[in-house]
Structure 1
Amino acid sequence: MSCVRLFQLCQNKKCIQLLQAFINKKILMKRIFFILISFSIFFYSCSKKDVVKDNSTTENKQKTTNEKKVDNTITTKNAAYYTIKDIGSSGKKSDFVDFTWQEDGKDVKLSDNKGKVILLNFWATWCPPCRKELPSLSAISNELDSKEFKMIGISVDENPEALKSFLKSNTLSYTMLHENGVLLEKYMTIAGGTENVIPQSFIIDKNGKVVEYIIGSKEKQEFLKLINKHL
């Protein structure tokens, strides 16, 4: 029954009080919903504002990271990372943003992987939820290696040395890049994102469209379910 209909039926003070209680209950339920969403983001992601901390803070976080390494074993291909040097302009909504990095002395573009499903994972070494999902991402990269799939990790660490140090002890099985957060903002704009947190992941289909937007840390099966929809 709608609020208007209830009001029409109300002819005395008691009924008006019941109507007010009904409205207050609706407002309370909405508040509880938004509180639960906020808690979910808090526990499964990190605020990217922490990226702008000074170097001493970054170094302290890195020490903590090294003391609390990811428990799962990560299959290793190499410990290298590459710096993104050119970022293309944003196109139409849902179209991917191209970018370039140099690998083994040659320029490589994201668009070189056209025809493949691509997962971009933005993260940082100081973010516990980010580190938590690394073993799952590495395992997925290995499992789908023979398929038309490409995984790329993109660190937004303010200090590249933090990433370098982390990878010496926790190397990954997929391509790792580094950038200052500009690319993440472009992809958030494409996906309509408003939460300035990490990790954030984007799945690009074989036609170059951003088709999945993932906020917060996820388990392996959750990632696979979304990826397999587009393979």
Structure 2
Amino acid sequence: MNIKKILLIILLFTSNSLFAEWKQPALSHNLTAVKKDISASDFTLENMDEEKIKLSNYHGKVVLINFWATWCPPCVREMPSMERLHNQISEEDFKVIAINQMEDGDQVFAFTGQLETDLTFEILFDTESKVSQAYAVNGLPTTYLIDKKGKIRYRAVGGREFDHPEVIKIIKQLAAE
């Protein structure tokens, strides 16, 4: 074996161990308050069971809308915290809706089957990106927090740690209004 092949093999083994040691940065928990009085655009999308779901069905609840895709690493990283948040706050006051971008049910079903956590919150499909356009989504993940009156109160772009105490505090404050 020549020296170039040996060096290549050594390089491959050492680079793999370096990447295994590399850690991704922690997810943020910050949400940006929306200053303007903006009503959330109503929409109707299908869920995993092919049922049509309208945002307006949840009027009177605080709603977290998260735009995501299976190919988006920060989206994948934040899913377990979104599930924990969903389980921590009563569905009487709060609803989590994850809106998948341009993928079909088979792709998302395969993806959710690979997760360590079962997702029990609502997953909807925006296959034509009409809802993401209405919400001016320019990057994934993008999250909106909507109050009980249907007003957009907070926005976040990028991965979040949704079950962080500060996020829970904001949601509970909105639910109490």
SS of 1:198's partner is: coil
Normalised by the length of structure 1, the TM-score is 0.53
Aligned counterpart, 2:66: 121
Higher Cα radius of gyration: 1
Is 2:120 the partner of 1:176?
no
Structure 1 residues 133 and 99, CA, compared in 2 at 3 Å: closer, same or farther? same
Deviation at 1:105, TM superposition (A): 7.4
2:167 partner letter = F
Higher fraction of helix: 1
CA distance in 2, matches of 1:118, 1:128: 23
CA distance in 2, matches of 1:122, 1:204: 14
Q: 1:214 aligns with which of 156, 162, 165?
A: 156
Normalised by the length of structure 2, the TM-score is 0.67
Contact kept, 8 Å, 2:45 with 2:126, in 1: the verdict is: no
Deviation at 1:205, TM superposition (A): 0.3
Contact kept, 8 Å, 2:61 with 2:93, in 1: the verdict is: yes
Identity of aligned residues (%): 35
2:60 partner letter = G
Higher fraction of strand: 2
Unaligned 5+ runs, structure 1? 1-42, 45-91
Aligned counterpart, 1:230: 174
Across the two proteins, how many residue pairs are aligned to each other?
137
- TM-superposition CA deviations, 1:91-145 (whole Å, max 9, x none): x961111112356676432111110000000111111111111011000101113
Structure 1 residues 203 and 159, CA, compared in 2 at 3 Å: closer, same or farther? same
Unaligned 5+ runs, structure 2? 1-25, 28-35
What is the root-mean-square deviation of aligned Cα atoms in Å? 2.7
RCO comparison, higher one (Cα < 8 Å, 6+): 2
